[in-house]
Structure formats: C-alpha cells, structure tokens
C-alpha cells in the first residue's frame, strides 16, 4: 500500500506494478499529482498544456500511466490513523462517504511536503499566502490572489515561482531573496554540482534571473519580509535587509505598495504518519528539520515501513521519483516478485541518478541554507499558533528554564491542538523553546502526534454495533494541589 | 447581479473553464465556474476575508491553498469549519463568512 499520489507515490506504484505486485494507492485529494504535478479540475478543459508548464505536462503522463497500471487508486481518501507494526492497519475515510480499515504488510509513505509557515508580524492577514498556494490559485484555478504581489523567499524555487506567476499574468512587483547575492565561490560550487547531468537545472536558474531582469522585476538579495500591514487584509509590506544568518538589520526597512505577499522559504515534510508509528528521526534543517532515519532502501526504523519523497525530507521531485522507484522495487523483491539479480538491475541506474542529484542538491543547500535568523522575524505579539491564536509571547511565558519538552507548552497553551495539528506552529514553537532553554533545535522532540491526523466525523468511525455501555462513575480522592505525598493515589471506582 | 470585480486569468486561453454557476456568499450571489473551488470563486470576486478567528476576531483568508493550514474556513451549507480551498463549487451553494466559534453544528444529544 502506498499513501500519497504525488511523484514519489506514483513512481513506487509503477515499479511495483511492473513487477506484478498488487498495489493500493491512497490519495486524499480528488486527483493524483501531489503538488508539483497538480492537475486542473476535471471540469476544466486544458487547451494548451504547454502554457501550464513542463511539470503539468510531465505530470499528466505519469498520472495517466498510474491510472492505467492496474493499481487500485483510492482518490479522495484520507488516512486518519495507522495501527499495528507489520501488518499495518490503515484507517481511511472518504469525504462525504465511508470509512474503512485496510491491512497491508508493506507500507510506503509518500505524503509530501508543504510550504514552510514563517511567522512574522501581520502574517495572518488575508493577502499573505504561501507560494504553493499562489501557484495553485493562479495555475490551476486560474485566479489571481491579489493585484500587486511581493514574492519573499529564498532559493531557486522563489525565482521559479515568481517567473511562472508573472508569465501567467500575475502582477509580481518585486522579489525578496534572503540569501546574499551568490559570490564567485558559490557560483563555482553550483557549477561543479551542476556537472554530471544537472546542467539543465542550472540553466533553468539562470533563465529565471534573465527573465526577471528583462521584465524589470527587481530582485533584492539579502532581504526578507519584516511585516505585512493592514487591518482587514494586507495593504502593504515592509522588507528589511538581513545578515548572512537572516537576522534583520536595524534601520534598513523599506516599504512596498502591495496587497499580496507570497512567502517561499522552503518546505516542511508532512510527518504525521511516520511519527504516529514511532519512526526514529534525525535532524536536517535544510530538508525541513526532523525527518525519518532511513536505510539505503528508504526503509524507516519500523520494518516494512518505507518513507520516500519530500515527505521523508525535502529534496525535490527528481529525487522523490528515484526514491519511490527504489522503494517499489525493494518491496517487490521482498515479497518474492523480483529475484535479486533483476532487482539489482533495476536499482542500479536509480541509485546512480540519486547520487548525481545529491551533488547538485548539496551545492544548492550551501548556497540557500535556511538562516537561523528566520525564527527571529516574529515578535512577542505575533501569533504563532494560527489555529488557537496563541502568540509568541504567550508561548515564551510558559517555558521554564529547565524544560526539556515542547509538548508541555502544548498542554498549557493549546498550541498544536487546533485543526492543523501543529503544521503551522511546531517549527517556530520549537525554535522559541530552543531560544528560551538554550537547547539546540535538533535535540528538541517535535510536538507529539495524536490520531486522528485528519479531522474525521465521529459518526463515520464510530462502531455502531457496540451496545451502549453503562457509565462508570469514578470518584477521585480529594487531594491538595501541590502535595507530593498524595499525588500518586490511584482513583477508586464506584461499584 | 451586483457589479463584482473579476480577478480571473482571462488572457491566454490555455484553459477552458467549466460551465458558469452561481454561489451565494453571505446571501450575495457570486459568479463561479464548475471545477473552481469556493476559495477561487471568493478570490476572483476580490473577497479575501473568509472568516474571523474565534479568540481575537482577526480576519483570515487563504494561506496554504492546499488544505493543510485550516485557515480558509467557511460555513458551507450550514456546516462550519469547511476548507474553502478544498471545496468545489456547486450551483446555488450557500457559504457564509465564519465568525467566532463554530455555530450551527448539530447539537450532541444528551446521554
């Protein structure tokens, strides 16, 4: 079973099907493709596929192959829990439909990533959105999110998105790139990394820069978003110069007359399912922080559980595809559908391609690492938990110097307990915790995941065959608050 | 129909939209096209405030556009906390700006 129908999930499905393995592919959206291969709604007719970009065109091909591969594709089905450890019981529900549990010996997770939420003053105002959100809205829904757009982010993707949006007619008035202008050392590293099969990627990047220059769209290196202004919605943006660690430099603010701010500071993996299953984690800031530890076959610390693609660590779609393919081949081999020799034949080129891609990614990571100062853009008044409306200041006030675990703050303030289940706030909360306690980020456990990992109506998952249970009243003994002697007393049940 | 602005991409004809429909937002009809999400129809009409958050009353709109941030919530056909970015429009669909904590949810029957 594969959870996630983006590039990694579909690649795994295709390799598994190629070896004759029975595959069920679960995707929570109505269409396959994930983010990069996003497909327009079926009611829209695509007259000029090329105008939607090469990812759309490539994506169409893969989506169609997957649908025709003989895999059982469950689109519109969300996974809300996973029980067991081989076999795995995967609880899914369909929007407006039914819920059921599917059992599988081998589980490949390819749940992808989402735009990094970056708290800064005014970030909750309508008009502030992620580059992914802007891209979906303009490219797929064909609607502009606002009249004048400031792009604020870092790395090749902020360039790519800026150009793409502008080509689709969006009024992009400027781009803020947090990293400094690449110096000769960086350029040399990028060139070296680009050799051996990655030149097209580098050429693309150069093309984007040329496009922006050609169209008079200013690119401000070493600048980041300081705040969004407005009351009902964004009516202006203030940018600030930042140092090499992305820390704001006082006295360098400049205002932009825009109504829309797109933030593109990388992505974070969607990790709820691997974490529910207790996968061991490691820390890599540039791949999105805590990510599952995996062996060379992309199997996690939980046997039978593979995690591939951006959902295992953000490395882009080319890497996602290779990882998906490898996991698909390895699962086929482990259930005896492929002999060792054939499996190796198929795995070899994938591993070589991955090594090639890794060289470029490593070069990019040095040039476009996430600056630690990103966590200092929020002030005490800035809302960090968007769902429960908890500010940075409120979080700070609940952290004691000796604390080891951000989950205590969760219990005290409700951060991470809202509908988004910590997607928006956990990274920043960990950073605040690190600042307050002096513990490095990589040592702090992320917020504990709890099922359901998607909001699911109780009526859909309640087992109505179970008869009404008589209620048991449990009377707790009276205890004085803070009395250590009495705190261990167990409650007595009323008989 | 009141004169609503239209922020749809009209130029390049790469995509042909589905049939035109109408959605009611806070009792006001907004033009939409089959296949669009409620969020798209709202943004196309220049309506960027989808709800007011319960604790602080702060205006919220589209943030992630992919269904993970749960900020674009509206009351749709009487159901609160519906993600507008994940909800395809239907002709005559009724949506309201969500204000405060969820109202209109079905009451839990007494034990």
Q: Which residue of A143, A231, A288 is the best one to mutate when testing the B interface, meaning the one whose CB has the most B CBs within 10 A?
A: A143
Burial of A451 (0-12, 13-18, 19+ CB in 10 A): middle
Closest CA to B74 of B31, B104, B107: B104
Q: Which residue of A49, A136, A148 is the best one to mutate when testing the B interface, meaning the one whose CB has the most B CBs within 10 A?
A: A136
Contact B61 A129 (CB under 8 A): yes
Q: What are the tens digits of pLDDT across the range A177-210? A: 999 988 887 777 777 777 666 677 778 888 999 9
Contact B111 A471 (CB under 8 A): yes
Is residue A246 domain-shared with residue A298, that is, in the same domain? no
Write down the ipTM of this complex. Answer: 0.91
- The pLDDT of residue A210: 95
| A41, A233, A455: residue with CB nearest B35 | A41
A209 Cα to chain B: minimum distance (Å): 23
**For A314-329, what is the mean pLDDT?**
95
B81 touching A (Cβ < 8 Å): yes
Contact B81 A386 (CB under 8 A): no
**DSSP for residue A318:** H
**For A406-433, what is the mean pLDDT?**
90
Residue A100 has pLDDT above 50, yes or no: yes
CA distance A212 to A3: 38
CA distance A224 to A374: 9
Contact A124 B14 (CB under 8 A): no
- Would you call B107 helix, strand, or coil by DSSP? coil
B38 touching A (Cβ < 8 Å): no
| B49, B56, B63: residue with CB nearest A130 | B63
A460 belongs to a structural domain:
yes
Report the number of distinct structural domains present in chain A.
Answer: 3
HSE at residue B47, side-chain half, CA atoms within 13 A, is 23
Contact A307, A313 (CB under 8 A): no
Q: Label residue A474 by pLDDT band (50, 70, 90).
A: low
Contact A126, B48 (CB under 8 A): yes
**H/E element, A361:** helix A340-367
**For A94-102, what is the mean pLDDT?**
86
Strand order in the sheet with A77-83: A77-83, A88-94, A99-104
Residues of A whose CB is below 8 A from B59: 125-126, 231-233
B78 Cα to chain A: minimum distance (Å): 15
**For B42-55, what is the mean pLDDT?**
96
Q: Which residue of B63, B73, B108 is the best one to mutate when testing the A interface, meaning the one whose CB has the most A CBs within 10 A?
A: B63
Is residue A20 domain-shared with residue A123, that is, in the same domain? no
Residues of A whose CB is below 8 A from B88: 30, 41
A361 belongs to a structural domain:
no
**For B19-36, what is the mean pLDDT?**
97
**For A124-147, what is the mean pLDDT?**
96
Is residue A415 domain-shared with residue A437, that is, in the same domain? yes
CATH number of B20-99: 3.10.20.440
Provide the whole-model pTM: 0.90
Indicate the domain borders of chain B: 20-99
Residues of A whose CB is below 8 A from B21: none
Residue B109 has pLDDT above 50, yes or no: no
Contact B65 A44 (CB under 8 A): no
| A130, A138, A388: residue with CB nearest B9 | A138
Is residue A215 domain-shared with residue A76, that is, in the same domain? no
CA distance A374 to A363: 21
Q: Label residue A494 by pLDDT band (50, 70, 90).
A: very low
- The pLDDT of residue A401: 75
CA distance A232 to A124: 10
Residue A340 has pLDDT above 90, yes or no: yes
Q: Which whole-number Å values give the CA distances from A435 to A241, A410, A431, A439, in the listed order? A: 22, 17, 6, 7
Q: Label residue A15 by pLDDT band (50, 70, 90).
A: very high
Residue A491 has pLDDT above 60, yes or no: no
A433 belongs to a structural domain:
yes
- The pLDDT of residue A480: 59
What CATH number is given to the structural domain containing A445?
1.10.10.1100
Residue A104 has pLDDT above 70, yes or no: yes
| B9, B19, B81: residue with CB nearest A419 | B81
Contact A288, A260 (CB under 8 A): no
Q: Label residue B4 by pLDDT band (50, 70, 90).
A: low
List of residues 6+ apart from A16 with CB closer than 8 A: A2, A23, A71, A328, A329, A331, A332
Contact A285, A366 (CB under 8 A): no
A348 Cα to chain B: minimum distance (Å): 35
A368 belongs to a structural domain:
no
A328 belongs to a structural domain:
yes
Is residue A459 domain-shared with residue A482, that is, in the same domain? yes
What CATH number is given to the structural domain containing A86?
3.50.50.60
Is residue A196 domain-shared with residue A164, that is, in the same domain? yes
Residue A345 has pLDDT above 90, yes or no: yes
**For B68-76, what is the mean pLDDT?**
96
Is residue A423 domain-shared with residue A467, that is, in the same domain? yes
- The pLDDT of residue A311: 95
Closest CA to A141 of B37, B53, B16, B1: B37
Q: Which whole-number Å values give the CA distances from A107 to A87, A260, A269, A363, in the listed order? A: 9, 40, 18, 32
Q: Label residue B59 by pLDDT band (50, 70, 90).
A: very high
Question: Residue A324 has which token pair?
Answer: 């998906």
Q: What per-residue string of b and e applies to A125-151 under the rule 16 or more CB within 10 Å gives b? A: bbbbbbbbbbbbbbbbbbbbbbebbbb
Contact B22, B91 (CB under 8 A): yes
A356 belongs to a structural domain:
no
Is residue A202 domain-shared with residue A310, that is, in the same domain? no
A146 Cα to chain B: minimum distance (Å): 8
Q: Which whole-number Å values give the CA distances from A368 to A252, A263, A301, A356, in the listed order? A: 22, 15, 30, 19
Residues of A whose CB is below 8 A from B17: 43-44, 142
B28 touching A (Cβ < 8 Å): no
Structural domain ending residue among the three candidates A312, A338, A364: A338
Burial of A67 (0-12, 13-18, 19+ CB in 10 A): middle
**For A15-34, what is the mean pLDDT?**
96
Residues of A whose CB is below 8 A from B58: 124, 383, 389
Contact A234, A128 (CB under 8 A): yes
Q: What are the tens digits of pLDDT across the range A232-277? A: 999 999 999 999 999 999 999 999 999 999 999 999 999 999 999 9
Q: What are the tens digits of pLDDT across the range A422-453? A: 999 999 999 999 999 988 888 888 888 889 99
Structural domain for A456, as ranges: 378-495
Contact A144 B40 (CB under 8 A): no
Lowest mean pLDDT among A109-113, B4-8, B64-68: B4-8
B91 touching A (Cβ < 8 Å): no
- The pLDDT of residue B13: 73
Q: What per-residue string of b and e applies to B88-98 under the rule 16 or more CB within 10 Å gives b? A: bbeeebebbbb
B59 touching A (Cβ < 8 Å): yes
Q: Which residue of B7, B56, B69, B82 is the best one to mutate when testing the A interface, meaning the one whose CB has the most A CBs within 10 A?
A: B69
- The pLDDT of residue A450: 86
Strand spans (E) along A71-218: 72-75, 77-83, 88-94, 99-104, 107-109, 113-115, 128-130, 149-153, 172-177
**DSSP for residue A465:** T
CA distance B57 to B53: 5
Q: Label residue A96 by pLDDT band (50, 70, 90).
A: confident
Nearest CA in chain A to B44: A143
**For B85-90, what is the mean pLDDT?**
95
Is residue A21 domain-shared with residue A54, that is, in the same domain? yes
Residues of B whose CB is below 8 A from A169: 9, 11-12
Is residue A223 domain-shared with residue A294, that is, in the same domain? no
B92 touching A (Cβ < 8 Å): no
Nearest CA in chain A to B68: A420
A418 Cα to chain B: minimum distance (Å): 9
Residue B73 has pLDDT above 90, yes or no: yes
Structural domain ending residue among the three candidates A338, A368, A392: A338
Residue B104 has pLDDT above 80, yes or no: no
B40 Cα to chain A: minimum distance (Å): 6
Q: What are the tens digits of pLDDT across the range A62-75? A: 999 999 999 999 99
Is residue A415 domain-shared with residue A488, that is, in the same domain? yes
Contact A63, A27 (CB under 8 A): no
Contact A133 B43 (CB under 8 A): no
Is residue A106 domain-shared with residue A128, that is, in the same domain? no
């Amino acid at each position: 079973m594969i959870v996630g129908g983006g590039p990694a999930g579909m690649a795994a499905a295709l390799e598994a099907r190629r070896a004759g393995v029975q595959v069920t592919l679960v995707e929570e959206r109505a269409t396959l493709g994930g983010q990069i291969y996003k497909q327009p709604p079926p009611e829209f007719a695509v007259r000029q596929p090329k105008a939607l970009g090469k990812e759309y065109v490539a994506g169409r091909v893969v989506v169609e192959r997957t649908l025709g591969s003989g895999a059982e594709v469950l689109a519109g089905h969300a996974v809300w829990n996973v029980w067991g450890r081989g076999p795995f019981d995967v609880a899914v529900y369909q929007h407006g439909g039914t819920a059921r549990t599917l059992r599988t010996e081998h589980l490949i997770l390819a749940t992808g990533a989402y735009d990094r939420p970056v708290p800064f003053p005014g970030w909750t105002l309508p008009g502030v959105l992620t580059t992914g959100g802007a891209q979906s809205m303009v490219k797929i829904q064909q609607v502009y999110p606002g009249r004048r757009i400031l792009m604020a982010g870092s790395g090749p993707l902020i360039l790519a998105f800026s150009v793409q949006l502008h080509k689709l007619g969006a009024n992009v008035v400027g781009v803020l790139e947090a990293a400094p202008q690449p110096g000769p050392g960086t350029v040399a590293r990028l060139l070296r990394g680009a050799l051996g099969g990655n030149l097209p990627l580098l050429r693309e990047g150069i093309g984007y820069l040329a496009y922006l220059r050609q169209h008079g769209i200013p690119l401000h290196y070493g600048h980041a978003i300081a705040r969004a202004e407005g009351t009902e919605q964004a009516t202006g943006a203030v940018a600030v110069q930042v140092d090499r660690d992305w820390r704001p430099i006082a006295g360098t603010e400049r205002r932009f007359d825009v109504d829309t701010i797109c933030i593109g500071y990388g992505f974070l993996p969607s990790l709820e399912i691997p974490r529910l299953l207790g996968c061991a984690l490691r820390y890599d800031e540039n791949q999105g922080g805590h990510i599952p530890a995996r062996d060379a076959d992309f199997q996690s610390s939980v046997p039978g559980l593979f995690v591939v693609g951006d959902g295992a660590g953000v490395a882009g779609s080319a890497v996602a595809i290779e990882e998906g393919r490898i996991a698909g081949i390895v699962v086929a081999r482990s259930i005896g559908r492929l002999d060792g020799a054939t499996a190796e034949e198929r795995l070899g080129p994938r591993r070589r391609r991955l090594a090639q891609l890794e060289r470029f990614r490593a070069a990019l990571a040095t040039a476009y690492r996430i600056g630690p100062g990103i966590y200092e853009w929020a002030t005490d008044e800035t809302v960090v938990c968007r769902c429960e409306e908890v500010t940075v200041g409120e979080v700070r006030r609940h952290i004691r110097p000796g604390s080891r675990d951000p989950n205590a703050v969760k219990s005290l303030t409700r951060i991470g307990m809202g509908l988004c289940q910590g997607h928006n706030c956990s990274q920043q909360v960990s950073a605040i915790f690190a600042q307050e306690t002096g513990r490095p980020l990589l040592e702090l456990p992320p917020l504990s995941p709890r099922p359901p990992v998607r909001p699911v109506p109780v009526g859909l998952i309640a087992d109505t065959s179970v008869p009404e249970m008589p209620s048991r009243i449990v009377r707790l003994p009276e205890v004085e608050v803070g009395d250590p002697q009495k705190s261990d007393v167990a409650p007595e049940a009323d008989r | 129909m009141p004169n609503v602005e239209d922020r749809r991409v009209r130029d390049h004809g790469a995509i042909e939209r589905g049939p035109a429909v109408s959605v009611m937002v806070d009792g006001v009809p907004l033009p939409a096209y089959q296949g669009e999400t409620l969020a798209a129809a709202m943004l196309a009409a220049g309506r960027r405030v989808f709800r007011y958050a319960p604790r602080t009353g702060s205006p919220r709109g589209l943030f992630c556009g992919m269904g993970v941030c749960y900020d674009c919530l509206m009351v749709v056909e009487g159901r609160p906390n519906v993600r507008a970015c994940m909800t395809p429009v239907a002709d005559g669909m009724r949506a309201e700006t969500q204000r405060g904590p969820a109202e209109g949810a079905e009451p839990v029957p007494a034990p």
